[in-house]
Structure 1
Amino acid sequence: MTPAALLRIDSSKATEQIVDFINSVFTQAGKAKAIVAVSGGVDSATSLLLAARALGPERVEGLHLPAKASAPIHTQHAQLVMDTAEIPAANRLTINISAIIQKSWRIIQRSTPGVGAAFTPGVNQLRLANLAARSRMLVLYDQAKRLDALVVGTENRSEHLLGYFTRFGDEASDLEPLRHLYKTQVISLARHLGVPPVILDKTPSADLWRGQTDTNELGFTYTEADPILYLHTQGQSPTDIIAAGHPEPLVTTVLARLQATAFKHQVPYQL
């Protein structure tokens, strides 16, 4: 069976199931409004459209949170997605979080003995990226409180399994309508929902620093990784996955990433 066949979904059925799930959660929680952090990428676009379909656009808030490192095209795409979902103008909000990130970074650095406020590449870049993701979460949940809304998450199963998220940052949400779907499946669902092609065709990026892409960070594409992840979750051994036609170096890299980030799925550790 080809990788595409392994991951094929019935998008109409998936849409119906997710819409029912969203409605069930909001009924159970006794909440009327949803808020989605709209980045301009395919995952947040899909979550926004599903929330709007389930609850009605008038009950959904689209929040765009650019920072200094954000490319202007992402803001354009975020607005395009909100147009597609027919989110009312009154329900759209853009908050630039650059000042929050920069001031927080300076305070942390200046308060750390022997460090100072100077920025150095490497570890500091990742720390700053994590700070950006957590700053987005801070603002997102503040706005959710203001609106008495639930935060609809945007994480897919590929990101989750690979640990490609910031703890207490972009993974934070009240419900995750896409976490059961691999990235390539989300793209299929997004196409079914009418996400504009310009967004479907974008290179995936967490938009945490200029030129940052998922592929550059991970070392492989989701198209390459998803079949391996699927077979792994079905209990296939590395040898079996390689025998199914996936290159050994790629299988090794993907599974090593799983092992290295497995702790993210265990924290907080408890007695």
Structure 2
Amino acid sequence: MNVKAVAEYLVSWLRNEVEKAGAKGVVLGISGGIDSAVAAVLAQKAWGENCLGLILPCESSVEDRMHAQLLVDTFKINHRIVELTDVYRLLTTKFESYLKIEGVKGRLLRANIKPRLRMITLYYSAQARDYLVVGTSNKSEISIGYATKHGDSAVDLQLLGDLLKEEVYELAHYLGIPEEIINKPPSAGLWEGQTDEGEMGITYAELDTYLKTGEGRPEVVEIIQDMHRKSEHKRRMPPIAYIPAEYK
């Protein structure tokens, strides 16, 4: 990959898309992870002071907070911190007062509230400023639906959506993202100790290899194809029940 050409293209693409929409800038969440770091640096190159990064702690680890702060300090990114932990706990208590589910499903139910709260915060900020919301999902994650529906997948523009995870790493090195961010295990930070690869059951290297070549160990291919099939609804707009003309 020609990282210089890709970086310049994405900066130009982001400028053009926002201008076409008649918006004044962009807002995105900065988690302390590599994808949001790369997206934030590209967005700042495109929009300067009209790029706003929101750090949105929600029972987040100290490491993630530190890495998010490190990124905005290193690249002088205009940012705000909005603490969502108290809101999250209040909502969870309210929801579970009428419906509480234990076990793995219950943990995931609670965890998915976090990216949906962040989505609300990002759109509040974007609407107030006439900005667009930039997403940070990459091609690898989108292909298997590794995102919370109406959470981190609810954005106006997917800046990294045509980049495999390995290509995001290439861009990160080119852009000078701090090594602390590049080298840590990818995690959505949904709960303590959670990692992307642990939750997916495969590695990003295995996923990227399959997406490039269609090949992989049988058990890996089965996981990827199953996740892709089950997540198809995340990559489409909600279907409309078109009524046959003879019924109208």
Q: For residue 11 of structure 2, what is the aligned residue in structure 1?
A: 19
User: Unpaired runs of 5+ in structure 2?
Assistant: 243-248
CA deviation after TM superposition for structure 1 residue 226, in Å: 0.5
What per-residue deviation string (whole Å, max 9, x for no partner) do you get for residues 183-221 of structure 1? 111111111111111111111111111111101110111
Q: Which residue of 2 aligns with 1:66?
A: 57
Alignment partners' CA distance in 2, 1:80 and 1:92: 12
Tell me which of 234, 239, 243 is aligned to 1:264. 234
Identical-pair percentage: 35
Q: Deviations over 1:46-99 (max 9, x none)?
A: 11100111122x22111001112x110111100111123222xxx321111112
1:204-251 per-residue CA deviation (whole Å, 9 max, x = no partner) reads 11111111110111011111111102234xxxxxxxx2xxxx322222
Distance in structure 1 (CA, Å) of the matches to 2:40 and 2:11: 11
Q: Would you say 1:33 and 2:33 are equivalent positions?
A: no
Aligned length: 241
* Partner Cα distance (2:64, 2:150) in 1: 23
Q: Residue 152 of structure 1 aligns to a residue in which SS?
A: strand
Q: State the shift of 1:102 in Å.
A: 1.5
Contact 1:101 1:132 in 2 (8 A): yes
- Determine if contact 2:24/2:129 at 8 Å carries over to the other structure: no
Match of 1:80 in 2: 70
Q: Structure 1-normalised TM-score? A: 0.85
Q: 1:95 aligns with which of 82, 86, 89?
A: 82
Runs of 4+ in 1 over 3 A off after TM superposition: none
Partner of 1:53: 45
- C-alpha distance in 2 between matches for 1:218 and 1:253: 8
Query: Is 1:250 matched up with 2:220?
Result: yes
**Contact 2:38/2:172 (8 A) holds in 1:** yes
Using the TM superposition, give the Cα deviation of residue 264 of structure 1 relative to its aligned residue in structure 2, in angstroms.
Answer: 2.1
Extract unaligned runs of 5+ from structure 1. Answer: 1-8, 233-240
Contact 1:48 1:85 in 2 (8 A): no
Cα root mean square deviation, aligned: 1.5
